[in-house]
Amino acid sequence: DIPSLAETFADDFPIGAAIEPFQTEGPKAELLKKHVNWLVAENVMKPDAIQPSEGTFKWTNADRIVAFAKENGMALRFHTLVWHSQVGAWFFKDAEGRPMADETDPAKREANKKLLLERLDAHVRTIVDRYKDDIASWDVVNEVIEPADPDGMRASDWYNIAGTDFIATAFRAAREAGGPDIKLYINDYGTDNPRKRDLLYELVKRLLDEGVPIDGVGHQTHIDVHGPSVDAIIASMRKFAELGLDNIVTELDMSVYAWNDRRDFGADIPEDVIELQAKRYGELFRAFRDNKAILSGVVFWGIADDHTWLNGFPVKRTNAPLLFDRNDQAKPAFWSVIGIS
Ligand code: XIL
């Protein structure tokens, strides 16, 4: 019988996993119950899943994950109230059904912005109100920084129509609906990259100065066996901690390929790559534990290698980014993480 991941880190921080509702039954449910004490929905709490059309809320799939967590004494995170991806196109259409982003008339643009922020406010309040007693940790906005876009802000429909007001609106609505006890996060990937980190820092600092209720930064931490460095990951957390913010590793996985590598190892990942992965996972968790004062949890984006978004992204190839293999068996990376002292 192998040790439990969550128990191993019980004095440090919770260990989480992103799951789909079907994984709340069968062997995966057992693996999850043993190793994690925190859950997040991989897809079913995203905007398009919860409110596919205006005023129609779909709770069934999200509720399954909430019920499974409660039955097993696991905490939950919510991912995500706002995103540019996996969001219904209806949000961004005006009363006549035209894309708001195409509008050129200033008065109509202003009216569109107001309508979009009203829709956003209703979306956030309805969801937070439903889950506020079950979910304490919330991704309010996801991936709003893009260094290559003007102002370093992702040129999404949200930003193009409403500027940064959509961020302030979402956080304020979440706080008002959820009260002081829920924790509100701004979530992004590549937060180790100094340029992106500093853009995020400046945005968050300005919003905090304006009284926007942000509690912490979610660092997705989709990394690979070659980079980024553990030091760069921790340095980013330190920087946000200086603002009095919490940090969470929200979507951890470690691809066995560099981003631009277009090979496909198939089911037989080379031994040296698996060993490199184990070494790096161990270094990472050692740093996480050493910095637990500024890091309040670690969530994996999946649990075992048979089900991971990286098997299909950025290209279709067999990946192995997690601690358990395609047969739910502990990998060298698992033992490396367990073995840090
Ligand atoms: C991914 C899911 O894992 C996939 O199943 C889905 O097809 C696309 O989204 N950053 C995020 C997550 O914030 O929501 C993404 O999840 C992975 C990257």
Angstrom distance (rounded) from CA 91 to CA 100: 9
Expressed in angstroms and rounded, the spacing between residue 211 Cα and the centre of ligand 1 is 30
Residue 267 confidence (pLDDT): 87
Nearest atom of ligand 1 to the alpha carbon of 83: 13
Nearest atom of ligand 1 to the alpha carbon of 187: 13
Residue 341 confidence (pLDDT): 67
Q: Interhelix angle for 230-242 vs 194-209, to 10°? A: 10
Angstrom distance (rounded) from CA 143 to CA 132: 23
β-pairing, 38-41 vs 183-188, is unpaired
3-class secondary-structure state, position 93? strand
Dihedral sign of CA atoms 150, 151, 156, 161 in order = negative
Predicted structure pTM score: 0.98
| Opening angle at CA 200, ends 130 and 261, nearest 5 | 95
Angstrom distance (rounded) from CA 60 to CA 240: 36
Expressed in angstroms and rounded, the spacing between residue 41 Cα and the centre of ligand 1 is 10
Query: Cβ–Cβ contacts within 10 Å for residue 27, how many?
Result: 11
Query: Cβ–Cβ contacts within 10 Å for residue 293, how many?
Result: 7
- Ligand 1 pocket, 72 CB below 6 A? no
Residue 141 confidence (pLDDT): 98
Please give the positions annotated as active site.
Answer: 251
- Ligand 1 pocket, 220 CB below 6 A? yes
On whether the CB atoms of residues 250 and 221 are closer than 8 A, the answer is yes
- Ligand 1 pocket, 142 CB below 6 A? yes
Q: Which portions of the chain are predicted below pLDDT 50?
A: none
Summarize pLDDT for 28-82 with one digit per residue, the tens: 999 999 999 999 999 999 999 999 999 999 999 999 999 999 999 999 999 999 9
Residue environment code for 66-83, b if the CB has 16+ CB neighbours within 10 A, otherwise e:
bebbeeeebbbbbbbbbb
Angstrom distance (rounded) from CA 28 to CA 60: 20
Expressed in angstroms and rounded, the spacing between residue 18 Cα and the centre of ligand 1 is 10
Percent pLDDT > 90 in the chain is 99
Expressed in angstroms and rounded, the spacing between residue 1 Cα and the centre of ligand 1 is 32
On whether the CB atoms of residues 324 and 39 are closer than 8 A, the answer is no
Protein residue closest via CA to atom 13 of ligand 1: 142
